[in-house]
Amino acid sequence: MATPRRWRVIHVRVPPTAAESVASLLIEATGRGVSLTESAEQVTITGYLHGHQAGAETKLREQLGRLAVNLEMPGLFQVSIGEVSETDWLGEWRYSYRPLRVGRRLVVKPSWHSWPPTDETLPAFNDDIVIEMDPQMAFGTGNHPTTQLCLEVLEDYVRLGCTVVDVGCGSGILSIAAAKLGATVVAIDNDPIAVQIAQANVIHNMVANQVKVILGEGLKAAERRFDIVVANINTPTIAALGNSLAQHTTRGGYVAVSGIPVVRTDRITSTLRHAGLWVTETRTRGSWVCIVAQRPGNIQQ
């Protein structure tokens, strides 16, 4: 039997206004995704490094120190780094990761939980749409507020036969939800690991005939317009997408963007309006926001 791989697990506790910057730094430093856990006054960002990445831990501490100074928050970042094996990590998730209802019809659950639940922890309904997502070291499973906000928007906006593009698809959870709601989907990510995991999740959820997963940067790989463009990424990336959000949306179609702290709402609404989109609603959860905008014109023109 192979020896379980060892990982360095990094927890960084920061004020909510610093969460986005720290998450971006950890993603770049580790080469994989992160998870965020919110409390009343802090956000904990968790990332993982391969145990054999010599010098990476020291470099990461130095980068976090410089970032804290740049954000005028010296002394407010609490960093802890420990070791965990892959089996330990999976065991921890199996203990804590349970089915989650998002919106009215969407249910996200791991493979080791049945649905309807045998212990009646959540009510089950005949029209439930179940998305089965097992946790991966790098990617989300529906627990973060921005993912939940995007899932709720998709439940409200997706119509049978519409087209959706999921930019920065990560685990593919939004793409899978859109497909199960009746859409044809293109899922794009610039991380080969994300593409591999998203493709596996798409197949596992039996929507491979509706979802095409592509390795690409932003919307460049999309090559056409969609009824709904969804991007759960981060503020700088969404701001950089700019006009391409509108250019890849059908007339009368919608753009839904998240991964945005509430304090950055004005910046992104300004970006969307400058691209010629009408901001139609904002949804908030905790310190995060999802912004929905519409491209003017008659639908499908």
Query: Band of the pLDDT at 95, cuts 50, 70, 90?
Result: low
More confident residue, 57 or 210: 210
More confident residue, 89 or 224: 224
Is residue 8 a contact partner of residue 51, using CB atoms and an 8 Å limit?
yes
More confident residue, 124 or 215: 215
- Are β-strands 184-189 and 211-215 bridged in parallel, bridged antiparallel, or unpaired? parallel
Summarize pLDDT for 99-126 with one digit per residue, the tens. Answer: 888 999 999 988 877 788 776 667 888 8
Query: Band of the pLDDT at 39, cuts 50, 70, 90?
Result: confident
Summarize pLDDT for 11-22 with one digit per residue, the tens. Answer: 999 988 888 788
Rounded Cα distance between 65 and 136, Å, is 28
How many Cβ atoms are within 10 Å of 289's Cβ, its own excluded? 23
Is residue 103 a contact partner of residue 155, using CB atoms and an 8 Å limit?
yes
**Which element (helix H / strand E) includes 140?**
none
Tell whether 154 and 85 lie within a shared domain: no
Query: Band of the pLDDT at 176, cuts 50, 70, 90?
Result: very high
In a domain, 47, yes or no: yes
Query: Band of the pLDDT at 49, cuts 50, 70, 90?
Result: confident
pLDDT reported for residue 165: 98
Mean model confidence pLDDT for the chain? 85
Residues 6+ apart with CB under 8 A from 24: 234, 236
More confident residue, 177 or 72: 177
> Over pLDDT 70: what percentage of the chain?
87
300 Cα distance to chain centroid: 28
In a domain, 119, yes or no: no
Query: Band of the pLDDT at 194, cuts 50, 70, 90?
Result: confident
Is residue 27 a contact partner of residue 157, using CB atoms and an 8 Å limit?
no
* Among 286, 266, 262, 41, CA closest to 145: 286
Tell whether 169 and 280 lie within a shared domain: yes
Query: Band of the pLDDT at 258, cuts 50, 70, 90?
Result: very high
In a domain, 285, yes or no: yes
**191, two tokens:** 């991380």
Q: For the ranges 2-11, 142-151, 231-240, which has the lowest average pLDDT?
A: 2-11
In a domain, 158, yes or no: yes
- Are β-strands 43-50 and 6-14 bridged in parallel, bridged antiparallel, or unpaired? antiparallel
137 burial (CB, 10 Å; 0-12 / 13-18 / 19+) is buried
Tell whether 70 and 187 lie within a shared domain: no
CATH of the domain at 155: 3.40.50.150
Task: Write out the residue range of the structural domain in which residue 176 sits.
Answer: 149-294
The residue type of 253 is G
- Is the predicted pLDDT of residue 210 greater than 80, yes or no? yes
Rounded Cα distance between 100 and 54, Å, is 38
In a domain, 300, yes or no: no
Tell whether 204 and 290 lie within a shared domain: yes
pLDDT reported for residue 301: 43
Last residue of a domain, one of 93, 118, 133: 93
In a domain, 205, yes or no: yes
- Is the predicted pLDDT of residue 6 greater than 60, yes or no? yes
Tell whether 248 and 183 lie within a shared domain: yes
Last residue of a domain, one of 59, 93, 127: 93
Tell whether 158 and 21 lie within a shared domain: no
CATH of the domain at 54: 3.30.70.260
Query: Band of the pLDDT at 41, cuts 50, 70, 90?
Result: confident
Tell whether 159 and 33 lie within a shared domain: no
In a domain, 116, yes or no: no
- Are β-strands 249-261 and 288-294 bridged in parallel, bridged antiparallel, or unpaired? antiparallel
Alpha-carbon torsion (71, 76, 82, 87), positive or negative: negative
User: Total domain count for the chain?
Assistant: 2
- Is the predicted pLDDT of residue 93 greater than 60, yes or no? no
Q: In what order do the strands lie in the sheet with 35-38?
A: 35-38, 43-50, 6-14, 78-85
In a domain, 265, yes or no: yes
pLDDT reported for residue 42: 86
Alpha-carbon torsion (93, 16, 78, 45), positive or negative: positive
Query: Band of the pLDDT at 181, cuts 50, 70, 90?
Result: very high
What are residue 197's DSSP bridge partners? none
Last residue of a domain, one of 68, 93, 118: 93
Tell whether 69 and 191 lie within a shared domain: no
The residue type of 110 is P
DSSP 121: S
